[in-house]
Amino acid sequence: MDREARSAGQAVVRALNAVSTSGRIHSLEVLRCVAALAVAWFHITHGGKLLAGAASPLLQAASALGAIGFHGITLFFVLTGFVIPWSIRNAPPVDGLLGSLRDLPSFLMRRLLRLQPPYAVASVLALGLNCLSTLAPGYQGSFSVTVPQAFTALLSDNLYLTGLLGGSWILVVAWTLALEVQFYAVAGLIEPWARPAQREALSPWLYALGVAAVSALAVLIPQNTLVFRVLPVFALGWVTAHQAMRPRPLHWLAMAWLLLLLARLAGIEQALVAAVCVALLHLALAAPAFGPAPLLWFGGISYSLFLTHVPIGGRVVNLLSRWPLSPLSQLLVCLLALVLSVLVAWGFWALIERPSHRFSRRPQLQA
């Protein structure tokens, strides 16, 4: 039975690897597209007062769709949990905790080189646009910042300390990146113990107990600024990756436990949303080659869109909502904000994100 499960897992891995020479799964890009557009539409429709109290059925529908879009964050977290073990599945296994500690700095460096340069530029862009907005006619805000304050805010944000220090992020989406960075550190420590080559020597129940124990930290350390609160969401993607590499019935038990834990922590609705995200991930793995070109393109720029949609789209909404608008005009403003956000994200990806990805894949960084 174990041999059959192993063969099935190897077949899944071969099918997924065959999608592209880089091992990227096209259908995951589609899910990134969905997540990024959902989060962008949420902030565009709910970040300002444009659709607040809308009486038009059309605007109410747009606002309701935006409210659902917030759950794109959950999909992003599940995808991150999957990508970590999947991305290092072919790396040689390490032995024990010493090996994981030895490899952790290199692992974190590669991940940060993908995230950090685009995020640093986006935070500077957001701060600059905040300053420029104070010069616009009809500005009603109270934003003001000195050079030392701006430097301190940028430093705190780019060290991912702002949430821990009780401050406000320059980019409102940055709290999710802070949690992802924390998850990278946790995953870098525990992944060597859970990889298929290592689990040969582990009891399956010991593996399940480890998943339960690590995810239970969400109950013991419930602070919103620490990753443990959302660790069950990341872990759902993480367990799914190991299920794809080497199917075991125990993985389904682990997923059920994580969903129950999530229901206890965040409510039934959040657990159901996470379950839908895991179902979408399994559908993507069942059809890894699925990826219409437009959706793959959107998926490719999803991180850039995630970083820039609030500074760009939010600015469009704030500026144009200063004039009386009909219901149709309000909807058109939201669509314009989304389109401009996508166009800026495209340029941002080409100029900032793509070079940082290429740099993170340099051979000397893989050692």
- Give the model confidence (pLDDT) of 34-55 as tens digits: 999 999 999 999 877 777 666 7
Residue 183 belongs to a domain: yes
Cα angle for residues 232, 187, 273 (degrees, 5° grid)? 25
DSSP 152-183: HHHHHHHTT-TTTTT---SSTTHHHHHHHHHH
- Gap between the Cα atoms of 46 and 63, Å rounded: 7
Give the chain's largest Cα–Cα span.
Answer: 71
DSSP tag of 227: G
- Gap between the Cα atoms of 144 and 131, Å rounded: 7
Range with the poorest average pLDDT among 29-38, 92-101, 139-148, 318-327? 92-101
CB contact set of 14 (below 8 Å; sequence gap of 6+): none
Residue 269 belongs to a domain: no
Task: pLDDT band for 110, please (50, 70, 90 cuts).
Answer: confident
Task: Name the residue type at position 359.
Answer: F
Q: Averaging pLDDT over each range in 70-74, 97-101, 209-213, which range is the top one?
A: 70-74
Is residue 99's pLDDT more than 50? no
Is residue 310's pLDDT more than 80? yes
Residue 28 belongs to a domain: no
Is residue 143's pLDDT more than 90? no
- Gap between the Cα atoms of 206 and 118, Å rounded: 40
Tokens of 186: 């946790």
Give per-residue pLDDT as tens, 149-182.
889 999 999 999 999 999 999 999 999 999 999 9
- Gap between the Cα atoms of 262 and 135, Å rounded: 45
Q: At what angle do helices 147-158 and 96-133 cross, to 10 degrees?
A: 150
Residue 282 belongs to a domain: yes
Residue 297 belongs to a domain: no
Residue 177 is part of which domain span? 2-23+39-261+276-290+303-365
Task: Name the residue type at position 85.
Answer: P
CB contact set of 156 (below 8 Å; sequence gap of 6+): 162, 165, 167
CA distances from 185 to 155, 297, 340 (A): 20, 30, 35
Sign of the CA dihedral with 266 first, then 269, 275, and 279 last? negative
So what's the pLDDT on residue 3? Answer: 56
Q: How many CB atoms lie within 10 A of CB 236?
A: 25
Is residue 269's pLDDT more than 80? yes
- Gap between the Cα atoms of 293 and 72, Å rounded: 21
DSSP 188-222: HHHHHHHSHHHHTTS-HHHHHHHHHHHHTHHHH--
Tokens of 244: 């794809």
pLDDT: which is higher, 244 or 211: 244
Helix, strand or coil for residue 341? helix
Is residue 288's pLDDT more than 70? yes
Helix, strand or coil for residue 146? coil
So what's the pLDDT on residue 214? Answer: 77
Cα torsion at 143, 147, 153, 158 (round to 10°)?
130
Is residue 186's pLDDT more than 80? yes
CA neighbours closer than 13 Å in the CB half-sphere of residue 10: 7
Residue 355 belongs to a domain: yes
Task: pLDDT band for 265, please (50, 70, 90 cuts).
Answer: confident
For the segment 224-234, the average pLDDT, to the nearest whole number, is 91
Q: What is the tally of structural domains in the chain?
A: 1
Residue 17 belongs to a domain: yes
Task: Name the residue type at position 198.
Answer: Q
So what's the pLDDT on residue 213? Answer: 78
Residue 200 belongs to a domain: yes
CB 162 within 8 A of CB 168: yes
CB contact set of 217 (below 8 Å; sequence gap of 6+): 228, 231
Is residue 359's pLDDT more than 50? yes
